Amino acid sequence: MVGRRPGMRWRERRLCRARGEAMKVKTPAMKLDVRVDQVVARDGLIVLEGVAGMLPCQTELTPREVRRLLLKVLRPRVLWLALTGRDGSAQPG
């Protein structure tokens, strides 16, 4: 669990993020560690359930929003980073 829970130290939360178990979300008001635990289809929506900071959270996406997100993720530099862990600017060729 990435959120702040009793007995979980700052170092453990940082290690969770380093292992790729959490995303960092930055807003003008705060920064949150976010972890998606499961993705389900419910009532015509794609629902991502997980933890944001220390609170449980749920994100609902319409199929159209999922398609838009996939189009953004399926760009060569983003795929290169996801598959290799290296910046897309270091891509050969």
Quick check: 5 pLDDT over 90? no
Q: What is the pLDDT of residues 23-81, one digit of tens each?
A: 677 778 888 888 999 999 999 999 999 998 888 999 999 999 999 999 998 999 988 98
Please state the domain extents for the chain: 1-61, 63-93
Q: What is the pLDDT of residues 71-83, one digit of tens each?
A: 998 999 988 988 8
CA distances from 54 to 5, 9, 43, 57 (A): 7, 13, 27, 9
Full DSSP string of 48-68: EEEEETTEEEEEEE-HHHHHH
pTM of the model: 0.62
